[in-house]
């Protein structure tokens, strides 16, 4: 259920805060894969891809982070919600900047500004 997915994801966040990166990865990976299969795709689950993307970003795995974040960003748009779009946009901009793609970095930074105004 979505509650179980959110709980597993929360364990990933807590373990990341304590520096347990392998455990954190396991929780995020489990939550993310469950999210992809979940039929209850509500806006509460928007945080799953985002927090997994944050984890990958902090591990300097920018390409993997982009992959997860772009899927999450598209999912939020499909749900026709604004919840988390600004956060996704800012982190996408940072990922693109770190891989040297300044054009897409600026594009997502501009979206970040627009979503903040909403």
State the average pLDDT for the chain. Answer: 93
Q: What is the percent of the chain with per-residue pLDDT over 90, rounded to a whole number?
A: 81
Question: 10 Å Cβ neighbour count for 61?
Answer: 16
Indicate whether 59 pLDDT > 80. Answer: yes
- Whether 28 contacts 12, CB under 8 Å: yes
Q: Using 50, 70 and 90 to split pLDDT, how confident is the model at 54?
A: very high
Q: What was the pLDDT predicted at 43?
A: 87
């Amino acid at each position: 259920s979505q509650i179980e997915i959110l709980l597993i994801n929360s364990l990933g966040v807590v373990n990341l805060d304590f520096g347990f990166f392998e455990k954190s990865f396991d929780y995020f990976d489990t939550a993310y894969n469950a999210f992809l299969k979940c039929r209850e795709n509500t806006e509460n689950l928007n945080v799953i891809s985002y927090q997994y993307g944050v984890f990958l970003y902090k591990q300097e795995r920018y390409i993997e982070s982009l992959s997860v974040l772009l899927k999450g960003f598209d999912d939020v748009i499909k749900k026709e919600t604004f919840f988390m779009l600004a956060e996704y946009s800012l982190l996408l901009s940072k990922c693109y900047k770190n891989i040297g793609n300044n054009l897409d970095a600026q594009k997502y930074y501009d979206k970040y500004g627009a979503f903040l105004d909403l």
